[in-house]
Amino acid sequence: MWTSRAVALFFTLFLLSESTIANVKGYGLEIAQQPVPAPSVPLSADKQQRYQEGVKLYQEAQELDKKGTKEGYQEAIEKYQQALKIAQELGLRQEEAFIYQNIGEVYFLLSDNNNALSFFKQALTIWEELNQPVDKAVVEHLIGNAYSSIGEYNTALEYYQKAELFFRKKQDFFYLSRTLRVAAQAYMRLGNMDKALNSLNEVLEICRNTLKDSVCEANTLNSIGFLYSQKLDSKAAFENYNQALEIHRKNGDLSGQSQTLRGIADLMSKLGKHKEALQHLEESRKLLKGKDTLIEQGLILDGIGDVYSSSGDFQKAVNYHKQSRILFSQAGEITLESLSIGTIVSIYRNFIGDYQQALIYIEEALALHRKAGDREQEASAFNQKGDIYIRQGNYQLALDAYNQALEIERLITKNPKAEARTLGNIALLYNFLGDNNLSISNYNQALNIYRKLNDKKQQARIFNYIGGVSQSNGKLDEAIESYNQALQLFNKEDYTSEIAIRWGLAKTYRDKNDYSKAFEAANRALELSEQYQNYFQETASIEIIGSIYLIKGDYKNALDNYTKAIKNYRKSGLLKKEAEILNTISIAYSSQKQYQQAIDILNEELKIRRFFKDIQGEADALYSIAKNQRKLKNLETALTNIDSAITIVQNIRSNVQNPDLRTSYFATVQNYYKFKINLLMELHKKHPSKGYNAQAIETSEASRARGLVELLTEARANIRKGANPELLAEEKRLQDLINAKEKLRFEIINSEKIRNPVLKANADKLQTEIDELLNQQKQLETKIRQSNPKYANLKYPQPLKLAQIQQQLDKDSLLLQYSLGEERSFLWVVSPTSLDTYELPKKSEIEKASINLFCLISQNSSKPPSATGKENPCQDTKNINASSFDLAAEELSKLVLAPVKDKLAKKRLVVVADGALQYIPFAALADLTAQPTSQQGKEEKNQLDNKPKDNRGGGLIPEIDNLPLAINSNYQPLIVNHEIVNLPSASTIAIQRQELRKKAPKALAILADPVYSNTDERFNSTRNKQLNKQKNQQNSLGIELERSALKRSADILNRQGWGRLPGTRTEADTILKLVPEANRLQVFDFDANYNWATSSALNQFRILHFATHGFVNDANPELSGIVLSLVDKQGKDIRGYLRLGDLFNLDYPADLIVLSACETGLGKEIQGEGLVGLTRGLMYAGGERLVVSLWQVSDEGTAVFMQEFYKEMLQNNKSPNEALRATQLKMWSQDKWHNPNYWAAFAFLGEWR
């Protein structure tokens, strides 16, 4: 609630006003009060002259001190130092203490608090030695001020309390009042507002009734007014400010009037009364006109800047803060200068969006904080720096900055409250990165601090955050537990917090379909908001109640509540909320089959979205309109609207950083394409000659290209390969500016600010600036296309048209492209001269048959739960008789191939699969055209049986136990009559063929048998003991996130971790025997690491072979990747996870890349994005062809397969796709290896020519 900068500024000014405390009321410093004061001890005549020289220097120093400039202070210190030498030379301990004290005060005014403390403490030592309790208490007060200035408030309070105890005992109310005032400021900074107010009220009583000191009274009223303004109690704030102003005017105190007017102006600005605020500041400026008051003039300029910032004119605001900064610098006031810089940073970061300028100024602020020794503000600046880095996407640098703040808060300022705040920032960073476990871990650390502080309000807030993280991650029971703990802790008078917690509970119970408890929580929130007359919270509560009714299917009550909510939002001018409610009302109408009413409501929403240029909202509204028009059979009109929606989302740059927007955006866009495909195929059925089916496959291609762009954004892949660094920097700069300006514009148009004509004009101006930036972005895209076509094809895809797709095919190839839909699915069969389309069963039927076959053929080697941990796709197949495999293969073949079985002949099948089909080896599907005993199959088998036998283990196949999967003798796999090629999309092959490829000079580079843990047997026992001592090493963000991501992927694959794969070494050794030593490169053990895998040396090899854990994660596709050595020879954690984002920046211009130990983790919603991301990443890296395993095969089986595969390529000179087919046929023909678990796991992707 309290504005940290405002409190810091007020506190700094207050301490500056207290810096002359020792000169007031005659305590100490008697030297300055006489023309030639007597020395504290008698001196001989010859020493008197030397003493008088010292007095003269001291008085000159005081005159320089009064100038109030940096130069004056520095010259004063020189004079004081000279006087100090004389006092020490003459043995005048009392005078020496006075001078130490004065030097300390000048350093304090220069914000050099470390030197100030050093001199104050030397004075304190002397006063204790001389047994001077009065002077000792004064210096304790000053030491407290210095500690407060560097943010060490608890230490400051220790010194204030010592001074307070003496002044109370002595009944010195003058000094007591000043000590209580500075203690109040320290309490305020620690967030203890009650103690702060109690102290200030006691000061007011002393000033008013005991001291009868009107200046003291006015200053205290000013402090109380400021405290109330920070609590947003404007009535109490104005009452105190006005009383202070009246006293200052009676006293003719121009400086006091100016300070109070600044306080009133700040409060006016907070209340949105910007014109009145500027008038008060102008009045404040006039009062000081002609006076040499650099600090006060700077403060007025700062205030004007704050008003312009509050009103939305940020460029003017920055200009005024820059002027104030110059004045503070001239005055030598480092703390105030650094606060001005902090404000400039905040504006550049939050509103202008120029992060580079923000970082430049934050470095200047850090330098000033260090110079001033202000460690609290230094920690705050590091927190700001971390926030900027997050906005730039530099997450490691963000964590580094937060950790620097933590180190200061833990070890130096020892401010646990600030430490907890920083831990909260780190938790948000991890939540943003999608690592909910680390997010909650940091929230729990913050929670423990608040428990020690007995701060129940902050504990409740953290539990509420944890509840939100758990809810968003689908962990509803954990969310409910956190929300209930929050309810037990919050202050019963803090109704706002209770309402927020009740909202969280209501939504969570709603998601659990526990409607009675959802209503109970929502109605309690409504009751509280009505009781405390909070209009916005009342409306939001009604909206949540409406959402519960909607999900329950009670549309009448849902509409009643939504109608109430929308009336309230309209009164408040909250256009975005109004639009959201209209969309939900349309769902209620549509659910009741009242499609025209739904369309009418959606058109109202569309007008609002277009009014404030919410382009994503506009696209959603058009999509919803199209869906309802389709229900009314207005297909052509629906097509027009969905085309408009897709045009909008294609123009939206997907590198949006907001995680909430990113999630909703990605979930929605693919629905647009699927809907359009359905609509086009419906139109094709109605008008078969109009080419709608061609448009449908083109839309399928567009959706795949767009899906990859979205996946890369989800994976936060900072793609640099194939792009001009200068153009990339400009691309990022433009996007940062667009994001920042759009954020600010939304804050205006989505609140009551939109009713303010000035702010409305400001929002319009921002939109004009955004439009101009978008134009610049378009021009930049053209430049990128011209200079960096590879990067442009990825980032700004232009999918192929039908004719272009057909150009990629030869007469021996057929393209089978699938699109799975909720209502029905489609298959397009494309040849160089034809296009045929077929309607297939709906997605759920195909997916069920696909999972059944996948789980049987993989022998449940991949047994993953879903992303939410609720469902195991293989669970239902565990008890199915394994001999059902051939039936499962035939069942799926009938679903996806039966309509086209007579068109396939013996063509090469180029498969562009969708959803769960992407994880199915088409090579193992049943050939529906085969006779019970295929003659070709017999011939192929006989030819293979007559080939020479390998002498290892008595034949081609080692003697190992056969898997229990029985294959019906009538089963013939598709691979017998067809070569199978897989592609992520038809456009992929065209993009590859555009590239100029240079043949690599060497044959093979192979990585195998990495070290995944320091418990690996390759460490000896002595080393293991040493390693156990190193377990507490602090890892970087990259390694910490990597380990967390690997754990999540292991969980999805039902793994306990990443065990050693000793068979991969055997596999590698077998392959290496086929390649001359000079033509190969191999790495094992610790050397099989990230540095090797990303080395530029790999671009010298035609084949890259990774024999290590790899995985395709469909639940979290951005986590798909390859696992390398995770520890070095010393047992230290190292980077060892080649993730999706890494792959797109590698340089692998290889003819073939092999991943031989991959496995698949399916999610509840099987989209196939994990496989697409992994394979497309390797292709973008340069891999022309890929061979990837879909599940983990036994070590022996893999070794045999790879030996035969490489023999076919290297000895029989077959292309990789031909070699793969030959190997699969050979293994299928062997009785012991005919099981598809062994040979069907390996899929070929890429160029077949």
| pLDDT tens sequence across 1155-1208 | 887 776 554 455 555 566 777 778 877 888 889 888 888 878 888 899 999 999
Q: Let me know: does 379 contact 418? Beta carbons within 8 Å.
A: yes
pLDDT at 31: 37
Average pLDDT of 299-312? Answer: 86
The residue written with tokens 């989505």 in the block is: 750
Q: Which of 226-230, 557-561, 595-599, 1034-1038 is the least confident region?
A: 1034-1038
Q: Let me know: does 562 contact 598? Beta carbons within 8 Å.
A: no
- The tokens describing 239, both together, are 């009452």
Average pLDDT of 921-943? Answer: 65
Distances (CA, A) of 1058 to 724, 885, 936, 1033, 1040: 38, 29, 43, 21, 16
Looking up residue 369, the CATH number of its domain turns out to be 1.25.40.10
pLDDT at 1212: 92
In 171-287, which residue ranges form alpha helices assigned H by DSSP? 173-189, 193-205, 214-230, 234-251, 254-270, 274-287
Q: In the predicted model, is pLDDT for residue 643 greater than 70?
A: yes
Average pLDDT of 726-730? Answer: 79
pLDDT at 632: 96
pLDDT at 441: 87
Angle between helices 692-714 and 986-994 (to 10 degrees): 70
In a domain? residue 64? no
Q: Let me know: does 149 contact 108? Beta carbons within 8 Å.
A: yes
Q: In the predicted model, is pLDDT for residue 30 greater than 60?
A: no
Q: Phi, psi at residue 55, to the nearest 5°?
A: -60, -40
In a domain? residue 236? no
- The tokens describing 486, both together, are 């929050």
| Structural domain boundaries, residue 741 | 733-799
The Cα 19–Cα 1042 span in angstroms is: 52
In a domain? residue 414? no
Most confident segment among 959-963, 1012-1016, 1227-1231: 1227-1231
Q: Let me know: does 862 contact 920? Beta carbons within 8 Å.
A: no
pLDDT at 463: 93
Q: Let me know: does 703 contact 668? Beta carbons within 8 Å.
A: no
Q: In the predicted model, is pLDDT for residue 488 greater than 50?
A: yes
Q: Is residue 1074 located within the same domain as residue 1154? A: yes
Average pLDDT of 996-1009? Answer: 87
Strand order in the sheet with 908-912: 835-840, 825-830, 813-819, 908-912, 980-982, 1242-1246, 1185-1189, 1152-1155, 1101-1107, 1002-1010, 1080-1085
Listed residue (728, 1231, 1233) closest to 1223, CA to CA: 1233
Angle between helices 173-189 and 133-149 (to 10 degrees): 20
pLDDT at 663: 41
Average pLDDT of 702-729? Answer: 65
Q: In the predicted model, is pLDDT for residue 474 greater than 80?
A: yes
Average pLDDT of 1055-1075? Answer: 84
Average pLDDT of 490-499? Answer: 75
Confidence class for position 19, pLDDT limits 50, 70, 90 = very low
The Cα 1027–Cα 1017 span in angstroms is: 13
The Cα 220–Cα 273 span in angstroms is: 25
Q: In the predicted model, is pLDDT for residue 653 greater than 50?
A: no
Per the structure, the count of domains in the chain is 4
Q: Is residue 820 located within the same domain as residue 770? A: no
Half-sphere exposure of 102 (CA within 13 A, CB side): 33
| pLDDT tens sequence across 384-421 | 999 888 877 677 788 889 989 988 888 887 788 889 99
- b/e for 111-125, b at 16 or more Cβ within 10 A? bbbebbbebbebbbe
CA dihedral 591, 593, 597, 598 (to 10 degrees): 40
Q: Is residue 1017 located within the same domain as residue 1127? A: yes
pLDDT at 948: 34
Last residue of a domain, one of 776, 799, 822: 799
Q: In the predicted model, is pLDDT for residue 1214 greater than 90?
A: yes
Listed residue (158, 130, 129) closest to 146, CA to CA: 158
Q: Which of 462-471, 928-937, 1087-1096, 1104-1113 is the least confident region?
A: 928-937
pLDDT at 1032: 44
- The tokens describing 27, both together, are 């305590």
Q: Let me know: does 1181 contact 1213? Beta carbons within 8 Å.
A: no
CA 124, 127, 131, 132 torsion: positive or negative? negative
Which residues have CB under 8 Å from 855's CB, separation 6+? 863, 873, 874, 877, 878
The Cα 299–Cα 327 span in angstroms is: 9
In a domain? residue 6? no
pLDDT at 949: 34
The residue written with tokens 């909607």 in the block is: 550
Q: 555 versus 666: which is more confidently predicted?
A: 555
Distances (CA, A) of 894 to 842, 913, 919, 928: 13, 16, 17, 8
Q: In the predicted model, is pLDDT for residue 768 greater than 50?
A: yes
Q: In the predicted model, is pLDDT for residue 877 greater than 70?
A: no
Q: Let me know: does 681 contact 826? Beta carbons within 8 Å.
A: yes
Confidence class for position 758, pLDDT limits 50, 70, 90 = low
Average pLDDT of 736-745? Answer: 72
What is Dmax (Cα atoms) for the chain? 131
Q: 868 versus 918: which is more confidently predicted?
A: 918
* Mean pLDDT computed over every residue of the chain: 82
Q: Let me know: does 1098 contact 1148? Beta carbons within 8 Å.
A: yes
The Cα 1086–Cα 658 span in angstroms is: 39
Q: Is residue 1003 located within the same domain as residue 1064? A: yes
CA 15, 17, 22, 26 torsion: positive or negative? negative
Which residues have CB under 8 Å from 240's CB, separation 6+? 221, 222, 224, 225, 228
Q: Which of 69-78, 102-111, 227-236, 1233-1242 is the least confident region?
A: 227-236
Last residue of a domain, one of 357, 387, 417: 387
Confidence class for position 576, pLDDT limits 50, 70, 90 = confident
Confidence class for position 756, pLDDT limits 50, 70, 90 = low
DSSP category for residue 954 = G
Strand order in the sheet with 1110-1113: 1137-1139, 1121-1123, 1110-1113, 1158-1161
Average pLDDT of 471-490? Answer: 89
CA 821, 826, 830, 835 torsion: positive or negative? negative
In a domain? residue 72? no
In DSSP terms, 813 is beta-bridged to 908
Distances (CA, A) of 243 to 211, 228, 246, 394, 903: 18, 14, 5, 50, 94
Residue-by-residue DSSP string for 1080-1145: EEEEEETTSSHHHHT-GGGGGEEEEEEES-EEEESSSGGG-EEE---B-TT--B---EEEHHHHTT
The Cα 104–Cα 118 span in angstroms is: 7
Q: Is residue 785 located within the same domain as residue 829? A: no
Q: Is residue 875 located within the same domain as residue 759? A: no
CA 17, 20, 21, 23 torsion: positive or negative? negative
In 928-1000, which residue ranges form alpha helices assigned H by DSSP? 935-945, 986-994
pLDDT at 471: 87
In DSSP terms, 30 is beta-bridged to none
SS3 704: helix
The Cα 1141–Cα 1180 span in angstroms is: 11
Q: Is residue 957 located within the same domain as residue 1040? A: no
Q: Is residue 794 located within the same domain as residue 878? A: no
Q: 653 versus 195: which is more confidently predicted?
A: 195
**Single-letter code of the amino acid located at 525:** A
pLDDT exceeding 70 applies to what percent of the chain?
A: 82
Q: How many helices (H) and strands (E) does the chain have?
A: 50, 15
Q: Is residue 941 located within the same domain as residue 1037? A: no
pLDDT at 315: 84
Residue-by-residue DSSP string for 1023-1086: HHHHHHHTTTPPPPHHHHHHHHHHHHHHHHTT-SS----THHHHHHHHHHTTS-GGGEEEEEET
∠ at Cα 970 (968, 974), nearest 5°?
100
In a domain? residue 85? no
Q: Which of 1001-1005, 1109-1113, 1122-1126, 1227-1231 is the least confident region?
A: 1109-1113
pLDDT at 1025: 45
Q: Which of 136-150, 524-538, 706-720 is the least confident region?
A: 706-720
Q: Is residue 786 located within the same domain as residue 817? A: no
Q: Is residue 872 located within the same domain as residue 1013? A: no
In a domain? residue 651? no
Most confident segment among 466-475, 748-757, 1161-1170, 1204-1213: 1204-1213
Burial of 880 (0-12, 13-18, 19+ CB in 10 A): middle
Q: In the predicted model, is pLDDT for residue 991 greater than 80?
A: no
The Cα 1007–Cα 1081 span in angstroms is: 9
Average pLDDT of 136-152? Answer: 89
pLDDT at 453: 78
Which residues have CB under 8 Å from 858's CB, separation 6+? 1160, 1190, 1191, 1237, 1241
pLDDT at 525: 92
Average pLDDT of 663-672? Answer: 63
Last residue of a domain, one of 365, 387, 409: 387
In a domain? residue 102? no
Q: How many whole angstroms from its chain centre is CA 74?
A: 47
CA dihedral 531, 534, 6, 253 (to 10 degrees): -80
Which residues have CB under 8 Å from 225's CB, separation 6+? 236, 237, 238, 239, 240, 241, 244, 260, 263
954: left (phi over 0), alpha (psi -120 to 50) or beta: left
pLDDT at 965: 47
Q: Is residue 1081 located within the same domain as residue 1194? A: yes
